[in-house]
């Protein structure tokens, strides 16, 4: 595992992952929120929160999406649900209560920073740890995410391979870098 702290000096070039207007993305979210609503919640710098959430050190609205229904459901609902001895996962009703699966469409081209391949991650001094870390390490991945945002002001989000969606891309979109009305319900 590389350093859990971002490097002091940086010489790499982050890879770009262009996503065209018209692309449909999927998310699982609270029924209380509109399907295209960015999350304004500021995570603690060390505890709780998601992989690349905003913190007091870097405040921005964010929205996690997947490029398929299966990845959206798997990333959100079965991320920490173990298999039973019979090879099944039992999802408690509470995990889906007051949640819904929604499709949203990009109305503008966006450019994400790619952490999809080993080469992409190496370009920013990382390996698989940053996209495979357990929730107990999310405080560290958030610190890296803030550094990645700082070195790539062009990045409108970060894409990485879903562990649970057969490697399909998943992403976090940065609400402060996506054009107004850039994400619409569909």
CATH number, domain at 157? 3.90.175
Domain presence at residue 20? yes
Looking at residue 82, its pLDDT comes to: 78
Rounded-to-integer distance, Cα 149 and Cα 161, Å: 18
Beta bridge partners of 65: 171
Domain presence at residue 115? yes
* Burial annotation 140-152 (CB, 10 A radius, 16+ → b, else e): bbbbbbbbbbeeb
Looking at residue 93, its pLDDT comes to: 85
How is residue 155 written in tokens?
């990045």
Domain presence at residue 84? no
What is the count of structural domains for the chain?
1
Give 39-93 as a 3 state SS string: ECCCCCCCCCCCCCCCECCECCCEEEEECCHHHHHHHHHCCCCCECCCCCECCCH
Domain presence at residue 61? yes
Domain presence at residue 74? yes
Position 11 confidence tier, pLDDT thresholds 50, 70, 90: low
pTM above 0.85, yes or no: yes
What's the pLDDT tens digit per position in 49-76?
Answer: 999 999 999 999 999 999 999 999 988 8
CB count within 10 Å of CB 179 equals 12
CA–centroid distance for 160 within its chain = 7
Q: Say if CB 110 and CB 19 are below 8 A apart.
A: yes
Domain presence at residue 1? no
- Looking at the predicted structure, is the pLDDT value of residue 3 above 90? no
Q: Which domain holds residue 178?
A: 15-79+93-185
What's the pLDDT tens digit per position in 158-169?
Answer: 999 998 767 799
Looking at residue 123, its pLDDT comes to: 93
Position 5 confidence tier, pLDDT thresholds 50, 70, 90: low
Domain presence at residue 4? no
Domain presence at residue 86? no
Angle at 114 (CA atoms; ends 141, 124), nearest 5 degrees: 60
- Looking at the predicted structure, is the pLDDT value of residue 37 above 60? yes
Query: What is the average pLDDT score of the chain?
Result: 91
């Amino acid at each position: 595992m590389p350093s859990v702290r971002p490097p002091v000096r940086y010489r790499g070039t982050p890879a770009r992952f262009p996503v065209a207007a018209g692309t449909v993305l999927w998310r699982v979210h609270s029924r209380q929120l509109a399907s295209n609503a960015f999350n304004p919640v500021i995570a603690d710098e060390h505890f709780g929160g998601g992989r690349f959430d905003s913190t007091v050190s870097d405040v921005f609205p964010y929205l996690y999406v997947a490029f398929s229904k299966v990845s959206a459901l798997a990333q959100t609902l079965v991320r920490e649900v173990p298999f039973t001895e019979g090879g099944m996962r039992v999802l408690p009703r509470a995990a889906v209560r007051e949640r819904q699966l929604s499709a949203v469409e990009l109305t503008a081209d966006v450019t994400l920073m790619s952490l999809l391949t080993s080469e992409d991650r190496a370009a920013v001094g990382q390996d698989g740890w940053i996209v495979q870390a357990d929730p107990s390490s999310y405080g560290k991945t958030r610190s890296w995410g803030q550094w990645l945002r700082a070195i790539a002001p062009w990045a409108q989000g970060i894409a990485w391979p879903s562990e649970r969606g057969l490697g399909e891309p998943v992403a976090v979109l940065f609400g402060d870098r996506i054009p107004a009305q850039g994400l619409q319900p569909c």
